[in-house]
Amino acid sequence: MKYLQAYRSSIGFLRHITSPAFHSGSFPALRTNPFVSAAQPRFTARTMATAMAKRLEGKTIVVTGASSGIGRSTAKEFARTAPKNLKLIVTARRLESLQQLAQEIKEEVGDGVQTLPVKLDVSNQEEVKNFVSSLPAEFQDIDVLVNNAGLVKGVAKAPEIAQEDIDTMFQTNVNGLIGMTQAVLPIFKKREDGGRGDIINIGSIAGREAYAGGSIYCATKAAVKFFTEALRKELIASRIRIIEVDPGQVETEFSVVRFYGDKAKADAVYSGCEPLTPDDIAEVVVFAAGRRENVVMADTLIFPSHQASPGQLHKKN
């Protein structure tokens, strides 16, 4: 009977043993429960920090374009990987979406991750220049910048490409990424050994192989590739890691933006094949940031299995 009662009370409490509150001491009585004690070694094994989590702990990470797609997933993946102690600065133009993301991260991992939503248009150089100084002091010592904000507009071919689309793509994908890099690098360069920190640029297969109807987008991503490569060479005497992650086809809001909000046209891009998810790319970004300091994942190209180039996609229908 005594054991039956203990068993019953344990059932009610078992769901609490996975909560961070239990381990922070809010449920001290549970530790004396025989069934909970029996379950504890398994729990401890599951939550032991990985080498990657230890390397990321205590860092301050900026993700641009975190209101959707790859950026949003990347912020969540960082939080999940190092949930005990992390500062995340999530930026984009849609503040509400960033606030929602911050709430979701808090609900999922607890208070170990402090998420700061910041409204930032990377195509506006004034905003970019003032970005670091406008942060609260405790968020200014940035360790990792994920330059993810980017977009494609239309499928027009020269000479019919709208000037507004050309300007938007270059100002966001190229000038925005360069501006953010220049804003954050002085923080990295103040550190010992010539500097420390990670710049992770989200490029694209489009920056490696051009396709008809994507000339401007491809040109912007080729610019990202060469800016990234030159930067790595310029910083060779430092510990600053310059990393590029180039996705193939990923299903996000990307195609909806390309087709000016036409969801049916966007859906047609992915019909008959299985694109990557934003989480697939987020895992690679966090893995790159979580390597030992002397390891640089300089350049990574990621395809879904049906893709071999921008135009070579196997469709089932």
Ligand X SMILES: NC(=O)c1ccc[n+]([C@@H]2O[C@H](COP(=O)([O-])OP(=O)(O)OC[C@H]3O[C@@H](n4cnc5c(N)ncnc54)[C@H](OP(=O)(O)O)[C@@H]3O)[C@@H](O)[C@H]2O)c1
- Pick the stretch among 65-73, 75-83, 234-242, 308-316 that binds ligand X (CB under 6 A): 65-73
| Count of C-beta atoms within a 10 Å radius of residue 136 | 10
Smallest gap from residue 188 Cβ to ligand X (A):
21
Among 56, 61, 70, 297, binds ligand X (CB under 6 A): 70
**Residue 60 touches ligand X, criterion: CB under 6 A:** no
Residues in the chain: 317
Nearest Cα to Cα of residue 243 among 289, 177, 298, 283 = 298
Give the active site residue among 87, 153, 221, 225: 221
CB 305 within 8 A of CB 276: no
Give the whole-angstrom CA distance, residue 290 versus residue 114: 19
From the CB of residue 13, how many other CB atoms can be counted at a distance below 10 Å?
17
Q: Which tokens is 284 given? A: 């690679």
Residue among 62, 145, 202, 243 that touches ligand X (CB under 6 A): 202
Which secondary-structure segment (H or E) carries 201? Answer: strand 196-202
Per CB under 6 A, the segment of 47-55, 137-145, 158-166, 247-255 that binds ligand X is: 247-255
Q: Residue 195 Cβ, how far from ligand X at the closest point, in Å?
A: 25
Report the residue number, 56 or 276, with the smaller CB distance to ligand X. 276
Q: Does 172 bind ligand X (CB under 6 A)?
A: yes
**Whole-angstrom Cα distance, residue 249 to residue 270?**
9
- At a CB cut-off of 8 Å and minimum separation 6, what does 229 contact? none
Q: Give the nearer residue to ligand X in terms of CB position, either 83 or 150.
A: 150
Active site residue 221: yes
Q: Is residue 207 near ligand X by the rule CB under 6 A?
A: no
| Closest separation in Å from C-beta 171 to ligand X | 7
When asked if residue 93 is in the footprint of ligand X (CB under 6 A), the reply is yes
Task: Indicate which single residue of 10, 33, 60, 68 sits in contact with ligand X (rule: CB under 6 A).
Answer: 68
CA-closest candidate to residue 78, choices 13, 148, 183: 148
Among 83, 150, 179, 290, binds ligand X (CB under 6 A): 150
183 binds ligand X (CB under 6 A): no
Please state, in angstroms and rounded to a whole number, the distance separating the CA atoms of residues 53 and 59: 10
C-beta of 101: minimal distance to ligand X in Å? 10
Cα separation, 110 vs 147, whole angstroms: 26
Q: Pick the closer one to ligand X by CB: 123 or 228.
A: 123
228 binds ligand X (CB under 6 A): no
Establish whether 211 is a catalytic residue.
Answer: no
Does the footprint of ligand X cover residue 142 (CB under 6 A)? no
| Least Cβ distance, residue 168 to ligand X (angstroms) | 8
74 touches 281 (CB < 8 A): yes
Contact status, residue 18 vs residue 43, Cβ threshold 8 Å: yes
Please tell me what DSSP assigns to residue 66: T
How many angstroms separate the Cα of 103 from the Cα of each of 85, 97, 122, 160, 173? 17, 10, 23, 43, 28
**Stretch of residues binding ligand X (CB under 6 A), selected from 119-127, 137-145, 154-162, 290-298:** 119-127
Residues that bind ligand X (CB under 6 A): 64-71, 92-94, 120-123, 148-151, 172, 202, 204, 247, 249-250, 252-254, 257, 278
> Which residue numbers are catalytic?
217, 221
